[in-house]
Chains A and B, each alone.
Chain A
Amino acid sequence: MPIPVKPDNSVVTTCAYCGVGCGFKAETHEGRVVRMVPWKEGKANHGHSCVKGRFAFDYYAHPDRIRTPMIRASIDEPWQEVDWPTAFAHAASELHRLQDTYGRGSVGAVSSSRCTNEEIFLMQKFARVALRNNNIDNCSRICHSPTQFGLSATLGAGAASQHFDSVLQADVVLVVGANPTEGHPVFGSMMKRAVRRGAKLLVIDPRRTETVDSPHCRAEVHLALRPGTNVLVLNSVAHVVVTERLYDEEFVRARCDWDDFQLWMGLVGDERYSPEVVGPEAGLDPEDIRRLARIYASGPKSTIYYGLGVTEHSQGSTGVMCLGNLTMACGMVGREGVGVNPLRGQGNVQGGSCLGSWPHMLTGYRFVTDPEVRGSFEAEWRIELDSEPGLRLPNMFDAATAGTFKGIYIQGEDPVQSDPNRHHVEAALRSMECVIVQDLYLSETAKFAHVFLPGSSSLEKDGTFTNAERRVSMVRQVVEPLGGLADWQITVGLMNAMGYECHYDHPSEILDEIARTSPAYSGMSFEKIEKLGSVQWPCNTDAPEGTEVLHTVQFPRGKGSFMLTQYVPTRERTDDQYPLLLTTGRILSQYNVGTQTRRTANLAWHDEDVLEISAGDAAARGLATGDRARISSRYGSTELTVRISERVNPGIVYTTFHFAHTMVNNLTSNLDDWATNCPEYKVTAVDVVKAAAHAGVGS
Chain B
Amino acid sequence: MSTTNPAPAGTAGTAGTAGKQVWTELRGLREGVDLGTPPRDGEPVTLTIDGVETTVPAGSSVLLAATVAGATVPKLCATDTLECFGSCRVCLVEIEGRRGYPASCTTPVESGMTVRTGGERLTALRRGVVELYLSDYPASDIEGGWSEFHTTLEQVGLTDGLPADHPYRGGDHHQHLAVDESNPYFLFDPAKCIVCSRCVRACQEIQGTFALTISGRGFGSKVAASQDESFLASECVSCGACVQACPSDALIEKSLFPGGYHRADSGQA
Contact = CB atoms under 8 A, between A and B. Distances in A.
A adjacent to B, CB under 8 Å: yes
B129 interface: no
Interface string A73-92: 00000000000000000000
Interface string A519-542: 000000000000011000000000
Contact of A169 (B9, B17, B262): B17
A548 B12 CA distance: 8
Contacts of B30: 40-41
14 contacts: A1-B140, A1-B141, A2-B141, A2-B261, A4-B257, A12-B31, A38-B240, A49-B244, A165-B23, A165-B27, A192-B208, A337-B20, A547-B13, A552-B13
Interface in B248-263: 249, 252-253, 255-258, 261-263
Contacts of B258: 5
B257 A48 contact: no
Interface in B19-45: 20, 22-23, 26-27, 29-31
Given A3-B141, A168-B20, A545-B10, 7 more contacts: A4-B249, A40-B29, A46-B27, A55-B185, A188-B208, A189-B206, A604-B232
Given A4-B256, A548-B13, A549-B13, A48 B207 contact: yes
A690 interface: no
B257 A1 contact: no
A46 B239 contact: no
A215 interface: yes
B14 A336 contact: yes
A4 B244 contact: no
Contacts, number: 147
Nearest to A38: B244
A55 B240 contact: yes
A40 B81 contact: yes
Shortest Cβ-Cβ A-B pairs, 7 listed? A601-B184, A4-B256, A192-B208, A165-B23, A54-B240, A55-B185, A51-B238
Interface in A1-41: 1-6, 12, 25, 34-35, 37-41
B210 A216 contact: yes
B161 to A, nearest CB: 13
Contact of B262 (A2, A301, A532, A545): A2
A638 to B, nearest CB: 28
Contacts of A5: 256-258
A39 to B, nearest CB: 6
A39 B26 CA distance: 12
Given A6-B146, A166-B23, A216-B208, A336 B16 contact: yes
A336 B264 contact: no
Interface string B198-225: 0000000111111000000000000000
A43 B238 contact: no
Contacts of A605: 232, 238
Nearest to B14: A336
A215 B208 contact: yes
Nearest to A46: B26
B97 interface: no
Contacts of B29: 40-41, 46-47
Contacts of B262: 2
A467 to B, nearest CB: 15
A47 B146 CA distance: 20
A369 to B, nearest CB: 34
Interface of A: 1-6, 12, 25, 34-35, 37-41, 43, 46-51, 54-55, 58, 165-166, 168-169, 185-186, 188-189, 192-193, 196-197, 214-217, 301, 335-337, 532-533, 545, 547-549, 552, 588-589, 601-602, 604-605
B252 A4 contact: yes
A199 to B, nearest CB: 9
A11 to B, nearest CB: 12
Nearest to A48: B206
A35 B253 contact: yes
A43 B141 contact: no
Contacts of A549: 13
Nearest to A166: B23
Nearest to B80: A40
A40 B31 contact: yes
Contact of B144 (A3, A51, A193, A337): A3
B12 A335 contact: no
Nearest to B238: A51
B58 to A, nearest CB: 19
Interface string B223-250: 0000000001000011111001000010
Given A1-B140, A46-B27, A548-B10, A54 B16 contact: no
A49 B26 contact: no
A605 B185 CA distance: 12
B256 A47 contact: no
Contacts of A533: 9
Contact of A189 (B10, B186, B207, B249): B207
B1 interface: no
Contacts of B237: 50-51, 185, 588
B184 A604 contact: yes
Contacts of B241: 48-49
A49 B22 contact: no
B189 interface: yes
A51 B243 CA distance: 12
Interface string B155-196: 000000000000000000000000000011110010000000
B239 A2 contact: no
A3 B145 contact: yes
A41 B31 contact: yes
A65 B49 CA distance: 56
A301 B17 CA distance: 11
Contacts of A217: 208
Nearest to B208: A192
A41 B29 CA distance: 6
Nearest to B243: A54
A589 to B, nearest CB: 7
A175 to B, nearest CB: 15
A545 B12 contact: yes
B26 to A, nearest CB: 4
Contacts of B189: 2
Contacts of A601: 184-185
A111 B24 CA distance: 36
Contacts of B253: 4, 34-35, 55
A182 to B, nearest CB: 9
Interface in B43-89: 81
A602 B14 CA distance: 39
Nearest to A51: B238
A35 B186 CA distance: 11
Nearest to B183: A604
